[in-house]
Amino acid sequence: MTVRIGVTNQKGGVSKTTNTINVAGALSDQGLNVLAVDMDPQGYLSHRLGFGDAYTSEDASLYDALNTPADYDITDLVVSHIEFDLLP
């Protein structure tokens, strides 16, 4: 069974990224496969997890895949993290 959890808020500085990292880590510790998706325009989740280069890369991105989904396999954009995977 796939479960999706969204952490959203219009206001900045309310711990969206911190909560996302903590929830993803806790679920991973429970033995679940977790994919964190960074939809923040600043890419803060990617930066906090040490993947700032993947976020700013000129390679295909989540943005590209959302604009022209038929042209991309989303699984090719996922990067591995020690605890859970990330889609920067």
pLDDT tens digits along 14-47? 999 999 999 999 999 999 999 999 998 888 999 9
**20-34, 46-60, 62-76, range with the lowest pLDDT:** 46-60
Distance (Å, rounded) from C-alpha 42 to C-alpha 70?
25
Q: Which of 52, 49, 48, 38 has the alpha carbon at shortest distance from 7?
A: 38
pLDDT value at 80 more than 80: yes
Distance (Å, rounded) from C-alpha 63 to C-alpha 85?
18
